[in-house]
Chains A and B, each alone.
Chain A
Amino acid sequence: MVSSFLGLINHFLEWFGDLGIFFWRVVRAAVTPPFEFHELFRQLDEIGSKSLPLVALAGAATGVVLSLEARYSLTRFGAKSLLPAAIVFSVIHETGPIITGLVVSGRVGAGIGAELASMKVTEQIDAIEASAVNPYRLLAATRILACILMLPLLTLAADACGVLMGWVTQALSEPQSLHQFINAGFNGADFNDFLPPTFKTAVFGLIIGTVACFQGMRTKGGAAGVGRAATSSVVLSSLFVILADVVLVKIILIFFP
């Protein structure tokens, strides 16, 4: 019992140690030439443009649910006039960023994990290395950087869809123009309400990209290994995104009260 617990702790520490070494190699590769701009642009499209429909749909669904739930609660407390502000603030502050983080960790985490794991087990990553090309630069740095750059932009899309569908849902119950809704929703809001929650998703991107690339590039075994890498990429990156969110919200509240 004690030895299995110690084994688990040992495995956990080993995993973090390996992740640290992996991350250091990626950073070192990323800041030294040659830079892989072609692959970076391909990944920006793969991770950004191709995630947009899913993120927009998730943001829109969140807006609808928030509008329905908030309307019911606020009406009970006689604060129905606060509905636009409640929708806008909850979408921009929390639901937009976290929904985007989780949707991207599902779609992109699984994609990167499975792709790199498959390349690993078929020796394609070894072939890249044997061709005198640094796989940390070509495969990992480009994907991680693309995740960091695209997450805030995808969050903006999720926020916009959430607010828009929140208004549509509200307007279907009680006619209100979009202009009125936006004015009421953003009344009293400033950049501190908007920028820190949006840019915290860059950290989510760093987590998703790093965990997925790490799990993919350390895979062992055949098809089963690829499956394990894809699953663990999604599970671990989602878990770390949620944990990072807790820490980042606290930091944002301290520095941007």
Chain B
Amino acid sequence: MNMDTIDQVAIKQETAEKAGSAPAIAVENLHKSFGSQKVLDGVTLAMKRGETLAVLGRSGTGKSVLLRLIIGLEKPDSGSVRIHGQDIAGLALDQLADIRKKMGFLFQHAALYDSLTVGQNVAFPLQHHKKQMSESERSDRVTTLLAEVGLKEDDFQKMPSDISGGMQKRVGLARALALEPDILLLDEPTAGLDPISAGEIDDLVLKLQAEHHMASIVVTHDLHSAKTIADRLALLDNGKVLIDGSFEELQKSDIEFVKEFLKHS
């Protein structure tokens, strides 16, 4: 073994050790502006695997931007986003890909590929990243994932435009889970859904969380939903985290905005 190889092994071991002890997601002093509009102003959050954090706040307070920064769809102006100890700022697309394979993202409007069927949407990440899978193995995996989110086999051949908003979110969730991520980011999973569908999505997220033991961040306006699915709640206002704690801690808070938010939720 030459010196280079020994060094590489040492670096890999160090990285692995860091990853083992590091939080699944660590956001530190994150700043982000769009033009003159400051969206995030020094956000700091950390999460470990198995934990669910609900990010609450008024519209336009940067909740969705926070998720986009965590998965690298936006670049921060300053601050860092570490996934399993690795800072993702400055990584090129292909370098980010290895980190994103361990992350699932449910978009607010599901963002299903409208030229693909429901089944093909869920198979998309598998086709690109599990090339060793045979056609039948992939098909079985898609069936399992769609069954897990409560879809019937009749729905697999439907186009996204032919299914309801609630079903689209379920398909989006199945797609997000396809690569067995250990981090799940959910952007308004219950927005625009009737109370029954919203409740079903909440139950589904709880079930998936129990089964897959992921670190999840749920951005939502819905305090009831947040209370149901999250271990911790963080309230954002003016680009800052006002409070980060359990629902009981939120209730006990003396911060005026927190009281106001709870009163109107």
Residues of chain A having any CB pair with chain B under 8 Å: 25, 29, 32, 34, 118-119, 122-124, 126-134, 136
Contact = CB atoms under 8 A, between A and B. Distances in A.
A127 B113 contact: yes
Interface stretch (B15-23, B104-112, B146-154, B255-263): B104-112
A48 B125 CA distance: 28
10 contacts: A29-B94, A119-B113, A123-B109, A124-B113, A129-B73, A130-B71, A130-B105, A131-B125, A132-B101, A134-B93
Interface in B91-148: 93-94, 96-98, 100-101, 103, 105, 107-109, 111-114, 124-125, 128-129, 131
Interface residues of B, number: 26
Q: Which of A25, A122, A124, A127 has the most CB of B within 10 A?
A: A127
A122 B93 contact: no
Given A127-B107, A130-B105, A32 B94 contact: yes
Contact of B114 (A124, A130, A131, A136): A124
A127 B125 CA distance: 10
Nearest to B97: A132
- Chief secondary structure at chain A's binding surface: helix
Given A34-B128, A132-B125, 12 more contacts: A29-B94, A124-B111, A124-B113, A126-B73, A129-B93, A130-B105, A131-B100, A131-B128, A132-B101, A132-B179, A133-B125, A134-B97
A32 B131 CA distance: 17
Contacts of B109: 122-123
Contacts of A126: 68, 73, 107, 111
Contacts of A131: 100, 124-125, 128, 175, 179
B188 to A, nearest CB: 12
A126 B131 CA distance: 22
Contacts, number: 62
A6 to B, nearest CB: 19
Across chains A and B, which 6 residue pairs bring their CB atoms closest together, nearest first?
A132-B100, A123-B111, A132-B97, A127-B111, A130-B105, A131-B125
Nearest to B92: A28
Given A132-B125, A132-B129, A123 B107 contact: yes
B31 to A, nearest CB: 21
B140 to A, nearest CB: 20
A118 B112 CA distance: 12
Q: Which of B73, B96, B98, B103 has the most CB of A within 10 A?
A: B73
Nearest to B185: A130
Given A130-B71, A133-B128, A122 B103 contact: no
B103 A130 contact: yes
Contacts of B100: 129-132
Q: Which of B68, B98, B111, B179 has the most CB of A within 10 A?
A: B111
